[in-house]
Amino acid sequence: MSFNASDTQAQLAFPILGITTRDGVLPLIFETFLMALFTVMVVYFLSQQRSRSPPPSKARAAIFYVALCSYTLAVINWAIDIHILWLELTRLIPQTLSNATPGADASEVHGILSFIQAILYSCIFTLSDVVLLWRAYVLTERPRWLLYTSVVVVVIEDALYVLNLISQLYLLPNMPTSIISLAFQLNLGIGPTIVACTAAVQAFASILITSRIWKPWNEFRDLILFRNLERKHSELLLLIAETGILYSLLWIWATISISPGVRDLDTAADWVPYYLVPISSIYPVAIVVIVSLRCSVLERKPDMQSRMLSSGTLRFARPALLEGLTEMSTTNHIAGDMEQGNPEPLYKYSERTRMEGYDDSFFQTATGTV
């Protein structure tokens, strides 16, 4: 920095820089780490999609666009965070320490970028909610009441996000006084309300997904209680990821952190957008990756899962079809051999799956795109 400051101003600079480091630099470093993980996940997902031999289907195209959209929004938000921090360190803070009025250009750019981030937050959080509600809908066998409830919830959330954008209009330059007054009035409680509402939606969807465990409890008991040493710990991690329990707890913690009545959590509140936004972008992509690669633990049938465990092909929910056979005849052939206690065809089909890729019939069934 290049600015003249007296001893008093120099003493003032240290706490300001300390606060900026604590609430801006460190959380941005953590966000950068999350974005690096996100990039690795997306690259792996795209490489897997490209290496699969069957032609792209509507289901695969849909999950590709979900992943691409979520990643793009997260990258734009991350780039804005970097630019805002650079703007504060190079222009706003030096001007404040030199007792100069911050330049209009710097303040306006800062406000515009913050408003753009509010729009990105709305898109990212809505996409995350839609994916989690969709997952709950599929795993609970598509009850009609849940479909209607999900639509109503998404509409209500979108209305709240619109109100939140109105409450952020004061960030934009040259706004009328009446608009600024309305924005400040809405700004008092709309932010915590939206986060609390989203946390409730996430918890609701997680409870529905977790109920999928309690119905066939005998199937998951050994996995959760570590009683079956043959089952991999990666299955438990996939199960935790699919249920969204930790994700819901993260939202609940964010709600507590930014609540107006909670004191001594200012630093936690400042960190919220830096970790919540990238994680909310990562989670829907993680779900579609798990489903598209057929790693889902919740969708495996008990009889198929036990036989696939013994054959070492746990990652496949159903083997690919052999050339020259129709889907119906192949499925009946596998079922007949397994009923007679002969797992050999399953092993052969699984080996062919590794060499030729997957068919899309299972994923289309899971997503309702048949």
* Residue 3 binned pLDDT confidence (cut-offs 50, 70, 90): very low
**CB 92: neighbour CB atoms within 10 A?**
18
What integer pLDDT is reported at residue 54 of this predicted model?
60
> pLDDT tens digits for 116-171?
999 999 999 999 999 999 989 988 888 999 999 999 999 999 999 999 999 999 99
Query: Position of tokens 């913690």?
Result: 253
Q: What's the start-to-end Cα distance of the chain, in Å?
A: 61
* Residue 89 binned pLDDT confidence (cut-offs 50, 70, 90): confident
In whole angstroms, what is the distance from residue 233 CA to residue 240 CA? 11
pLDDT at 335 over 60: no
Residues 6+ apart with CB under 8 A from 217: none
Backbone angles phi, psi at 347, to 5 degrees: -65, -45
SS3 301: coil
**Whether 311 contacts 344, CB under 8 Å:** no
Average pLDDT over the chain, rounded to an integer: 75
> pLDDT tens digits for 204-258?
999 988 877 665 555 555 555 555 554 556 677 777 788 888 999 999 999 999 8
> pLDDT tens digits for 288-327?
888 777 666 666 554 444 443 343 333 333 333 333 333 3
What integer pLDDT is reported at residue 282 of this predicted model?
94
pTM above 0.85, yes or no: no
